[in-house]
Amino acid sequence: MFNGIINNIIVLNPNTGLLNTDAYYSDESLENISNLIRTFDTGISEISTRIITIDEMGKMVPAEVLSGIFLQLKQQMQMTNLPTIQMTWKIADGFFNIRIKENLEPEITTLVLKHGKSFFDFSFSEESDGTKRLFDLIDMLLTERPDTTFIVDELERSLHPKLTEHFLEMFMDVHNDNRMQLIFTTHENSIMNQNLFRRDEIWFVERNAENATKIFSLDQFKERYDKKLGKAYLEGRYGAIPVFSHFSFRKEE
């Protein structure tokens, strides 16, 4: 039971490791990811790799951590008798791959991004918060892990509402035949749409007078299927909206 929870429920955040490490470092996979990213209209036209030095990597990862990774990979190489071993992972500043061959210095590569017809490559750290957020999420589109539940807080963070909607449509499409589930919180009322979700898939969270939280489903309101839910929500029909008190900036005389 415990192992099932650990292995099959993934709480996604910017420091979550890659779920599908093989997808990021072959030419065929990078072309596929480039095509996927272009559908989101971010301006990114191509994703490729660039070799960086150990010193460059050391500016993003503490030296002792990097040394520990090298040591771990070398030990795995000795235990498995493999001529080459590699590790791919994602951190806040980008995606990195470390490859170690026998008796050679480690080779480190990172992803770089090209915009439109620009001759210059951009590092992941130079991208906007919205683009970085998108890369947090697209791993869910690439993975094929069965029986997996993803949990994401504020899915729409730094994203345009239409981009968030596009991502959700793609998630449902690509995993239509898979046993995979996405649970997320959001403040974006525009995606509260019955073309996207069933009524029993939309839940509200409300804090009561005792500061206790209650959760209830849209399904209990028995709304028509053509109801504009986002508008009704902001009008207070379903509750779960903030109630503000008055504050005066003027000093009392």
Over the stretch 138-186, which tens digit does the pLDDT of each residue have?
889 988 888 899 999 999 999 999 999 999 999 999 998 888 999 999 9
Bridge partners of residue 210, in order along the sequence: none
- Cβ atoms of 97 and 85 closer than 8 Å: no
The residue range of the domain holding 98 is 2-191
Looking at residue 19, its pLDDT comes to 61
User: Which strand (E) or helix (H) includes residue 84?
Assistant: strand 84-91
What pLDDT is attached to residue 214?
A: 92
C-beta of residue 113 within 8 angstroms of C-beta of residue 122: yes
Average pLDDT over residues 45-63: 88
The two tokens of residue 100 are 């170690």
| Model pTM score | 0.84
User: Residue 201 domain-assigned?
Assistant: no
What confidence category does residue 45 fall into, taking pLDDT thresholds of 50, 70 and 90? very high
Query: How many domains does one find in the chain?
Result: 1
* pLDDT surpassing 80 at residue 110: yes
Tell me if 139 is assigned to some domain: yes
pLDDT higher than threshold 80 for residue 51: yes
Is the predicted pLDDT of residue 252 greater than 80, yes or no?
Answer: no
Within-domain flag for 200: no
Q: Which residue has the tokens 């030095």?
A: 53
Q: Return the pLDDT at 174.
A: 92
The answer to whether residue 22 is domain-embedded is: yes
Section 59-71 average pLDDT: 86
Residue 149 forms part of a structural domain: yes
Q: Among candidates 161, 238, 236, which has minimal Cα distance to 199?
A: 238
Is the pLDDT score of 3 beyond 80? no
Mean pLDDT is highest, among 50-64, 95-109, 172-186, for 172-186
Residue 245 CB partners (closer than 8 Å, separation 6+): none
Residue 120: pLDDT over 70: yes
Q: What is the spatial distance between Cα 195 and Cα 170, in angstroms, rounded to a whole number?
A: 14
The pLDDT of residue 162: 94
Cα separations (Å) of 176 from 32, 79, 144?
Answer: 19, 40, 11
- The phi, psi pair for 201, rounded to 5°, reads -95, -10
Asked if the model's pLDDT at residue 34 lies above 80, the reply is yes
Long-range contacts of 158-164 (CB under 8 A, 24+ apart): 158/128, 158/129, 158/130, 158/132, 158/133, 159/130, 159/133, 159/134, 160/130, 161/188, 161/190, 161/191, 163/40, 163/41, 163/130, 163/134, 164/188, 164/191
Q: Positive or negative, the Cα torsion across 39, 43, 48, 54?
A: negative
Q: What is the pLDDT of residue 18?
A: 62
The per-residue pLDDT for range 75-84, each reduced to its tens digit, is 888 888 888 8
pLDDT at 77: 87
Residue 199's pLDDT band (boundaries 50, 70, 90)? very high
Is 70 exceeded by the pLDDT of residue 117? yes
Of all residues in the chain, the percent with pLDDT exceeding 90 is: 38
Q: What local confidence, expressed as pLDDT, does residue 220 receive?
A: 92
238 is a domain residue: no
In a domain, 222, yes or no: no
Residue 208 lies in a domain: no
Has residue 225 got a pLDDT over 70?
A: yes
